[in-house]
Amino acid sequence: MSALSRMFGGSKAQKETPQSAMLKLQETVDILTKKQEYLETQIEKEVATAKKFAKTNRRAALNALKKKKMYTDQLARLDGTIATLESQRANLDNASLNMEAMKAMQTAATALKNAHKNMDLDQVNKIKDEIDEQQEIARTISEEISRPSGQDMYDEDELLAELNELEGEADDDAILNRVLDIPVPSTELPSIPSTSRTAAKTTNQSKKTTEEEDQIAALSMWST
């Protein structure tokens, strides 16, 4: 079956789709394009004939120009027809795209409807409340786990008093260390005769006793 017979009716009626209609339009445009090429060739041929007989056979030249005019009119009509068919093909193409877009939108709408079939606003709010409740429970448990055990068993005032007492003892120890570190100047005595050594030794012991008594007195003063 030729393209024209398929376009203008065949042996069996079929439901046309945008794709099949665009195919028929393209086939028709191809046929008309070949017809255009033929007419353009004929026009060129008749122009050449008119030029050939312009001076020698004016009647033949006029006949050639008449044919050229006829072919030119046919070519102009073909140009208009092809332009119309191209416009229809573009419209069908757009319609096909719109149809595919509509099918995709319908598919998405159906999928959303199925997804929301078993859901409603009350159910969503209930789930959110349950989530908030569980998060609050988890936060409370975390705080309880992170709290040190037995932190309320100690009196903070009692601990501060003990700390102040330790600081006072540390100050007393520092003063005592300073007292004990007081250097005692050493005085070398000149050599004395052996007969006087006993008296000098007695004098040194008495001086040492006096220094020890002074240190003991100082310690007694700081301890009170």
Q: What is the DSSP letter of 12?
A: S
Q: Which of 25-29, 72-76, 124-128 shows the lowest per-residue confidence on average (mean pLDDT)?
A: 124-128
Most confidently modeled range among 101-110, 146-155, 156-165 = 101-110
Alpha helices in the chain (DSSP H): 3-8, 18-52, 58-115, 121-146, 156-180, 197-223
The interaxial angle of helices 197-223 and 156-180, nearest 10 deg, is 160
- Amino acid in position 80: G
- The residue that leads in pLDDT, 57 or 123, is 57
Please report the pLDDT score of residue 163 as a whole number.
73
pLDDT tens for each residue of 86-133: 999 999 989 888 988 999 999 999 988 888 887 778 888 888 899 999
Q: In whole angstroms, what is the distance from residue 64 CA to residue 222 CA? A: 147
Q: How many CB atoms lie within 10 A of CB 36?
A: 16
Q: For 3-8+15-115, CATH number?
A: 1.10.287.1060
How far is residue 166 CA from its own chain's centroid? 59
Q: In whole angstroms, what is the distance from residue 152 CA to residue 149 CA? A: 8
Average pLDDT, integer, range 35-46: 95
pTM of the predicted model as reported, rounded to 2 decimal places: 0.45
Cβ atoms of 174 and 217 closer than 8 Å:
no
* 140: pLDDT strictly greater than 60: yes
Looking at the chain, the whole-number percentage of residues with pLDDT higher than 70 is 66
Please report the pLDDT score of residue 1 as a whole number.
47
Could you tell me the residue ranges of all domains in the chain?
A: 3-8+15-115, 170-181+203-224
Please report the pLDDT score of residue 17 as a whole number.
83
pLDDT tens for each residue of 163-208: 777 777 766 666 666 656 655 455 455 554 544 455 555 555 555 5
- The residue that leads in pLDDT, 173 or 10, is 173
Please report the pLDDT score of residue 16 as a whole number.
79
